[in-house]
Structure 1
Amino acid sequence: MPSVQLDDILPHNLASTTMARRLILLALLGCLVSVLAAATQHTLQLKASKSNADSEYHVVTHPEFSGYSLRLKTPTLCDDSVKQYSGYLDINEDRHLFFWFFESRSNPASDPLVMWLSGGPGCSSSTGLLFELGPCSIQKDPDNGTVYTTRNEYSWNTQANVFFLDQPANVGYSFTTGGKNVTRTTEAAEDVYAFLQLFFARFQEYAQLPFHIAAESYGGHYAPHIGSIIHRRNKELADSGSPTSTRHINLESIMLGNALVDPLIQMPSMVEYVCDGAFALFEPWSPTCLALRANAPVCKGLIQGCYTTDSWAPCTPATLYCWQALYTPAALKSGKNIYDIRRPCDRLSGENPICYEEIAWVEEYMARPDVRSALGADPRAPPFAACNYDMNVAFMYAGDGMRDSYRLLPELVDEGVRLLIYAGDVDMLCNYLGELKWISALESTHWEAFNAAPFLPWTVSGRSAGVVHQAGTGAGNVTYARVCEAGHMVPHDQPAAALDMLIKWINNIPIAS
């Protein structure tokens, strides 16, 4: 297939503008039993090594994951009241994935383990840590311009052990040193599974805990693939009956926040959101809405072509057309932040196209030499960037964005993995209308009960937090939560509601209770 250039599909008046290019990229961000334990202890290898002059790591290898090793250190940044680990998963000496782990502030021995993944593709989970839900929040002194962190009272490690993983390689502190770059979600998921196996081999105390995958935005692609691999490998382990040091992973649930899961449903829903919904930005019969409605069927047809073939070739044109024909005009004509339509985009004039000035603070903080040293950032890692737009474009040209991860979820749900979809209602990018449409169509054993269930009011500290729609017992096997007055980054906009939701979900208590 001939290479497709951005200028080939953008309208002439947009093709040469820096803003249009940034908007395209911005929108693409738019993601064990005792026998086995004994075997693991017998084969696990631990050693100390120097990776650079400043950082000593403990290195973990695994006999069944040759080519993978995990190196660790113990920082005290951000929240020195809890145990921390940071370091890298090294893959065949050419791919290196950074992570940062925090124990629970409550009861780390029994509280569940949560893995957080930011989206992009190409955006660092450290951004989610410092900007949304981690133990500390990024701040900037207005007088001297110094960036620093403060304790986050609404951190998700209030009642959970939480780690933040920069994946795939070339995201955040993660990097490559030659060899093959990962540009598809299916490949990235294999590396994450290996990371989990090495992490649990080293930290067996966490391996026994319930494990939850939490992901945002493009994480709606990542999390179902990772969950599917875990579930499949767990079944293979159970069926094999052979002694092995590979661990069963106690996958309890998948949590997806304003996530891109089913583009065929979600992309066209943007037109309804901006033209007809409760948060409409344009008059229903305005020229903008007429043009968007005319473009939506073309977009849908291109995505359908991507869905119905194993070839990746039709998927890149679908990505390029849908973003330039739907999201770019809506963003340009409205002047709004597509992550939060209540506010203008305050970052389009800067180097980073994400519409929050705090993202630049995160980059400045993570680039500080003292922070890099404390976390054990490898000297070979490039300067920290909140989002790597080269990776974003690489995934786009691989056609990954217009693939759906929706098809992986029914088996997981039907076999006991709980699913939570939460959506801030002022996010245009992955809007709540599209989220509800795809989850309502999910063909699981809970489909009929979910669609018959009422929307229940959800309050936090006497204040309306949103509505909840669920099927199943407790917090639900399939649950949808619409979060009021929240954009794409729900824990940033409504931290108390996000923490309330998390605590109830991981304890299997109805959210609307």
Structure 2
Amino acid sequence: MFDVELCPPDELVSHPAFAGHKLRMTEPKLCDSSVKQHSGYLDIAEDKHLFFWFFESRTAPSEAPLVLWLNGGPGCSSSTGLLFELGPCSIADEGKNTTHNPYSWNSNANVIFLDQPVNVGFSYAEDGTTVNTSPVAGQDVYAFLELFLGRFPQYAKLPFHIAAESYGGTYGPNIASVIHKENGALSLSKAPGLLPINLKSLILGNGLTDPYTQMAAVPDFACDGPYPVYDDPQGPECSALRAKVPTCQRLIKSCYDFNSRLTCVPALLYCNSQLLGPLMQLGLNPYDVRRKCNKDEDGDLCYKQMNWIDTWMNIPANKLALGVDPARKFASCNMEVNQGFAFQGDGMHDSSKLIPELVESGIRLLVYAGNADMMCNFIGNERWVEALDSSFHDEFVKAEHLPWVTAESGRKAGLVRSAGGGGATAGNITFVAVHEAGHMVPYDQPEAGLDMINRWLADVPLSK
């Protein structure tokens, strides 16, 4: 453990470079009392308040990398990732308790779970303030990181990685781009008190990043993928889906070209309704098509654990321990935030265009995807990575799919393609197709998920 003073409850941390920004923190003992924790809020001026929960690594925290985990939605709390996927504890007993998670990603990493943008999870805003675009959300996350690392400089020296899932495929590149640009400006200005953030990689899991490419892959997954949802790949349903792709791509290209709400909202409405809409009527879990979904029993998102998370996070004693007002109500996903981003057409922007500059500066890219997810399928994710314009493009296009075998069980967990590193590292651009997993890989394949992240953070090949 680090030799630092304990934070008293509701410690206030300010920063000269961020006037009006404060960090309010406490030290909970929930979930996993064996590791040091910090939780609380970043207050941005008077109106925005972002909730975070930090866990030190179970192993060598003074040397372990720092990971920021973000769930997507947009509008879904990162407590979903914490309690349902990869945190130190897992939700249990209909939300009455949690159990130890031996495959937590804090096994070998210090992990921050952040509820962003405002009005997500325990994060909140005053006076009707909202955030409905990923670039603005990125600036808020950068402010949080600067205050957090300013208060805990021992973490600032560690390798830093952004890991984001689902709509995090849009958030992640925007946040990484802000950090990269601010680091560059900092090297020129030497602003007092600001720390360079040691950004080493961007990790995107079953994300939405390049909708032009990914939306076109929807019929390929539904009709020709490993878990086809229609009996006949040449039948009328598949033919109807494929017929919608040209119009969808034309609308998305207009969004890419003009980057305005007037072009991006129509693209989002058409593509979602015409390509994903029919698939939502099949009674399947769109996040894992191997499973059926009964919304009366499983909830709107097809996982009853989401309701359990709401139950546990709303226990007054848990709120007090986390530094949250007991009167504040927690919801795993806020559909008003979701709609706010939709009405800006944010989800139809090309976030992949932000990545080449990062990659060329030495920031590594890992994209992984469970092969049973229909919402952000693995076929489309691999295609946009393959199309990425970087100095590693030709090498990646030629790269073979190599088997990935987990270290613990020796089981083949998926296939990996990689460019950069000459086979001696995890690669500069790497794509992993995770077998027998849906949208939330660490939930479906906990051992494989931990094996993947451990190797990536240590920068050792996944294919050996």
Settle same-fold status: TM greater than 0.5. yes
SS at match of 1:137: strand
Q: Using the TM superposition, give the Cα deviation of residue 392 of structure 1 relative to its aligned residue in structure 2, in angstroms.
A: 0.3
Match of 2:444 among 480, 490, 493: 493
> Does residue 153 of structure 2 align to residue 235 of structure 1?
no
Contact 1:450 1:470 in 2 (8 A): yes
In structure 2, stretches of 5+ residues that fail to align are 1-5
Match of 2:41 among 88, 94, 108: 88
Question: Which amino acid in the other structure matches residue 210 of structure 1?
Answer: P
Aligned residue in 2 for 1:312: 261
Aligned residue in 2 for 1:209: 158
Contact 1:264 1:304 in 2 (8 A): yes
Return the alpha-carbon distance in structure 1 between the equivalents of residues 86 and 459 of structure 2. Answer: 20
TM-score, normalised to structure 2's length?
Answer: 0.95
Return the alpha-carbon distance in structure 1 between the equivalents of residues 225 and 172 of structure 2. Answer: 29
> Does residue 435 of structure 2 align to residue 484 of structure 1?
yes
Aligned residue in 2 for 1:451: 397
Q: Using the TM superposition, give the Cα deviation of residue 380 of structure 1 relative to its aligned residue in structure 2, in angstroms.
A: 5.9
Return the alpha-carbon distance in structure 2 between the equivalents of residues 356 and 402 of structure 1. Answer: 26
Question: Which amino acid in the other structure matches residue 168 of structure 1?
Answer: P
Contact 2:95 2:308 in 1 (8 A): no
Aligned residue in 2 for 1:170: 119
Return the alpha-carbon distance in structure 2 between the equivalents of residues 61 and 380 of structure 1. Answer: 26
Q: Using the TM superposition, give the Cα deviation of residue 492 of structure 1 relative to its aligned residue in structure 2, in angstroms.
A: 0.2
Residues 335-414 of structure 1 aligned to structure 2 (within 5 Å): 335-346=283-294, 348-349=295-296, 352-379=299-326, 381=328, 383-414=329-360
Question: Which amino acid in the other structure matches residue 271 of structure 1?
Answer: P
Residue-by-residue CA offset, 1:24-59 (whole Å, 9 max, x unaligned): xxxxxxxxxxxxxxxxxxxxxx997xxxxxxx3001
Of stretches 119-128 and 315-324 in structure 1, the one that deviates more from structure 2 is: 315-324
Distance 1:438 1:47, change over 3 A: closer
Runs (4 or more) in structure 1 with deviation over 4 Å come to: none
Residue-by-residue CA offset, 1:211-269 (whole Å, 9 max, x unaligned): 000000000111101100111111111122x3521110000000000000000000121
Q: RMSD across aligned C-alpha pairs, in angstroms? A: 1.5
Question: Which amino acid in the other structure matches residue 405 of structure 1?
Answer: S
Q: Using the TM superposition, give the Cα deviation of residue 287 of structure 1 relative to its aligned residue in structure 2, in angstroms.
A: 2.0
Residue-by-residue CA offset, 1:75-120 (whole Å, 9 max, x unaligned): 0000000000000011111111000000000000000000000000
Return the alpha-carbon distance in structure 2 between the equivalents of residues 169 and 350 of structure 1. Answer: 30
Aligned residue in 2 for 1:437: 383
Residues 249-260 of structure 1 aligned to structure 2 (within 5 Å): 249-260=197-208
Question: Which amino acid in the other structure matches residue 115 of structure 1?
Answer: L
Return the alpha-carbon distance in structure 2 between the equivalents of residues 180 and 137 of structure 1. Answer: 33
Aligned residue in 1 for 2:3: none
> Does residue 245 of structure 2 align to residue 299 of structure 1?
no
Q: Using the TM superposition, give the Cα deviation of residue 314 of structure 1 relative to its aligned residue in structure 2, in angstroms.
A: 1.3
Of stretches 206-215 and 457-466 in structure 1, the one that deviates more from structure 2 is: 457-466
Return the alpha-carbon distance in structure 1 between the equivalents of residues 41 and 440 of structure 2. Answer: 26
SS at match of 1:100: strand
Distance 1:407 1:458, change over 3 A: same
Return the alpha-carbon distance in structure 2 between the equivalents of residues 128 and 394 of structure 1. Answer: 22
Q: Using the TM superposition, give the Cα deviation of residue 146 of structure 1 relative to its aligned residue in structure 2, in angstroms.
A: 5.8
Return the alpha-carbon distance in structure 2 between the equivalents of residues 210 and 279 of structure 1. Answer: 38
Question: Which amino acid in the other structure matches residue 347 of structure 2?
Answer: G
In structure 1, stretches of 5+ residues that fail to align are 1-45, 49-55
Question: Which amino acid in the other structure matches residue 375 of structure 1?
Answer: L
Residue-by-residue CA offset, 1:150-186 (whole Å, 9 max, x unaligned): 0000000000000100000000000111153111001
Aligned residue in 2 for 1:421: 367
Flag the structure with larger Rg: 1
Residues 217-232 of structure 1 aligned to structure 2 (within 5 Å): 217-232=166-181
Residue-by-residue CA offset, 1:288-309 (whole Å, 9 max, x unaligned): 1121111121111111111110
Question: Which amino acid in the other structure matches residue 339 of structure 2?
Answer: V
Return the alpha-carbon distance in structure 1 between the equivalents of residues 284 and 291 of structure 2. Answer: 6
Aligned residue in 1 for 2:218: 270
Contact 2:316 2:326 in 1 (8 A): no
Q: Using the TM superposition, give the Cα deviation of residue 352 of structure 1 relative to its aligned residue in structure 2, in angstroms.
A: 4.4
Return the alpha-carbon distance in structure 2 between the equivalents of residues 138 and 47 of structure 1. Answer: 27
Contact 2:70 2:113 in 1 (8 A): yes
Contact 1:47 1:59 in 2 (8 A): no
